[in-house]
């Protein structure tokens, strides 16, 4: 079985490629390396440095792709607010371009966002039936592609699964970026610096470990489910202050955070109901927050 992974040089993509290869899959990576790193790409994968906006027909035909895991994207909420045109070009037009070239694959798995599409929750935990009212252009673009997939499944019989990830954290997360609070805090505290908390720190997220997400991606390919969306998180609400305190207590450092203004376009509280993924995908998260943070700290210091 040959799987095309877009964004396979990125944080979640490269962890997923490693898992797929260890499970015996052949993997083709398409990534423009705009945020991904070539050194993260597993050496056994076939790599094309290309954009999802490029003419992709030749690659898809030549490689005889069986399944697609689409993770290549503009991933920053802040960037989507500053430049919604760019966000929609990459995330919407790039995705449509890719999907159009992959209508004959056995399964198309799409990395959507449970944190960005629902908007400020009407109830918690948020299940897949919760109204979708994204606050940011990024959330709009992520959900737009879910709708395109639905349309292509109705019109062309495309078999797809949308996975709505929570806040993913773990090794290879960019510790210098604007998003990815766990890696950013961990790196700053390891270096003896005070992390900046946007807002009061009581905002909550559903933090899920990257290797658990990689497993969900694999199961979405393997299980006989299609044309639906699944939340992929832990079902647990964790505040940003709790993340800070957990890292501080593992490191045993006496550091205090700096508080700044909240970021526009981000929800205050969220956590995801994952009953559907448990029941239909047979997936459940296996790595708890403290162990996941310990693994991330080990990675950052190795
Ligand atoms: N990190 C999270 O918490 C999270 C949560 C929900 C959803 N997601 C989704 O998961 C996917 C992976 O995110 P990530 O956190 O690993 O981010 P990332 O930035 O590490 O990975 C994105 C990858 O896509 C590549 N890319 C960007 N534009 C491209 C283009 N035009 N053509 C080809 N490749 C391109 C980048 O170079 C990078 O390797 C994204 O679709 C993102 O929206 C992430």
Give the domain CATH number at 194: 3.90.25.10
Task: Tell me how far the alpha carbon of residue 253 lies from the centroid of ligand 1, in angstroms.
Answer: 32
Evaluate if pTM is beyond 0.85.
yes
Among 230, 216, 209, 213, smallest CA distance to 273 is for 230
Which residue, by CA, sits nearest to atom 23 of ligand 1?
Answer: 7
Task: Tell me how far the alpha carbon of residue 43 lies from the centroid of ligand 1, in angstroms.
Answer: 20
Mean pLDDT in consecutive groups of 10 residues from the start of the chain, 302 residues:
98 98 98 98 98 96 97 95 97 98 97 97 98 96 98 98 97 87 96 95 97 98 97 97 97 95 88 98 98 97 94
Domain interval for residue 123: 2-168+209-233+277-281
Q: Ligand 1 within 6 A of 7 CB?
A: yes
Strand ranges in the chain using DSSP code E only, listed in sequence order: 2-6, 26-31, 46-49, 67-70, 107-113, 160-165, 167-169, 196-198, 204-205, 207-209, 228-232, 238-239, 258-260
Which residue, by CA, sits nearest to atom 21 of ligand 1?
Answer: 10
Q: Are residues 139 and 156 in the same domain?
A: yes
Q: Ligand 1 within 6 A of 53 CB?
A: yes
Q: Are residues 34 and 50 in the same domain?
A: yes
125: CATH: 3.40.50.720
Q: Ligand 1 within 6 A of 297 CB?
A: no
138 is a catalytic site residue = yes
Q: Are residues 125 and 144 in the same domain?
A: yes
Q: Are residues 81 and 102 in the same domain?
A: yes
Q: Are residues 88 and 142 in the same domain?
A: yes
Q: Cα 60 to the chain's mean position, in Å?
A: 23
Best of 12, 173, 238 for a ligand 1 pocket test (most atoms within 8 Å of beta carbon): 12
Owner of token pair 């044309």: 227
Tokens of 186: 């961990």
Q: Are residues 109 and 219 in the same domain?
A: yes
Task: Tell me how far the alpha carbon of residue 23 lies from the centroid of ligand 1, in angstroms.
Answer: 22
Q: Ligand 1 within 6 A of 36 CB?
A: yes
Q: Ligand 1 within 6 A of 45 CB?
A: no
Task: Tell me how far the alpha carbon of residue 219 lies from the centroid of ligand 1, in angstroms.
Answer: 19
Q: Are residues 133 and 189 in the same domain?
A: no
Q: Are residues 22 and 148 in the same domain?
A: yes
Q: Ligand 1 within 6 A of 8 CB?
A: no
Task: Tell me how far the alpha carbon of residue 11 lies from the centroid of ligand 1, in angstroms.
Answer: 7
Q: Are residues 109 and 179 in the same domain?
A: no
pLDDT of residue 292: 98
Which H or E run contains 251?
helix 240-251
As to burial, measured by CB atoms within 10 angstroms (0-12 exposed, 13-18 middle, 19+ buried), residue 217 is buried
Q: Are residues 56 and 188 in the same domain?
A: no
Query: Exactly one of 138, 148, 160, 165 is catalytic; which is it?
Result: 138
How many domains are contained in the chain? 2
pLDDT of residue 176: 85
Q: Ligand 1 within 6 A of 29 CB?
A: no
Q: Ligand 1 within 6 A of 139 CB?
A: no
Q: Are residues 115 and 180 in the same domain?
A: no
Q: Are residues 112 and 197 in the same domain?
A: no
């Amino acid at each position: 079985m040959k799987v095309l992974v877009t964004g396979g040089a990125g944080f979640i993509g490269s962890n997923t490629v490693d898992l797929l290869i260890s499970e015996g899959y052949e993997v083709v990576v398409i990534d423009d390396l705009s945020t991904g790193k070539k050194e993260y790409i597993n050496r056994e994968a076939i790599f094309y440095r290309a954009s999802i906006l490029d003419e992709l027909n030749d690659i898809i035909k030549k490689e005889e792709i069986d399944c697609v895991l689409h993770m290549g994207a503009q991933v920053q909420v802040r960037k989507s607010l500053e430049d919604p045109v760019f966000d929609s070009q990459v995330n919407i037009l790039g995705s449509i371009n890719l999907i159009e070239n992959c209508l004959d694959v056995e399964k198309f798995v799409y990395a959507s966002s449970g944190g960005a599409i629902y908007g400020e929750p009407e109830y918690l935990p948020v299940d897949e039936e919760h109204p979708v009212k994204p606050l940011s252009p990024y959330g709009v673009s992520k959900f737009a592609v879910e709708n395109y997939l639905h349309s292509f499944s109705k019109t062309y019989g495309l078999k797809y699964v949308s996975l709505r990830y929570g806040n993913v954290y773990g090794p290879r997360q960019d510790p210098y970026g604007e998003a990815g609070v766990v890696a950013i805090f961990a790196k700053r505290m390891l270096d003896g610096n005070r992390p900046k908390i946007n807002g009061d720190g009581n905002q909550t997220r559903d933090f899920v470990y990257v290797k658990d997400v990689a497993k969900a991606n694999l199961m979405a390919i393997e299980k006989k489910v299609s044309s639906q969306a699944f939340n992929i998180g832990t079902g647990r609400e964790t505040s940003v202050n709790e993340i800070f305190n957990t890292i501080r207590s593992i490191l045993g450092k006496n550091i205090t955070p700096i508080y700044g203004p909240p970021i526009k376009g981000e929800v205050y509280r969220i956590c995801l109901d994952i009953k559907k993924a448990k029941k239909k995908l047979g997936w459940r998260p296996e790595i708890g927050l403290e162990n996941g943070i310990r693994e991330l700290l080990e990675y950052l210091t190795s």
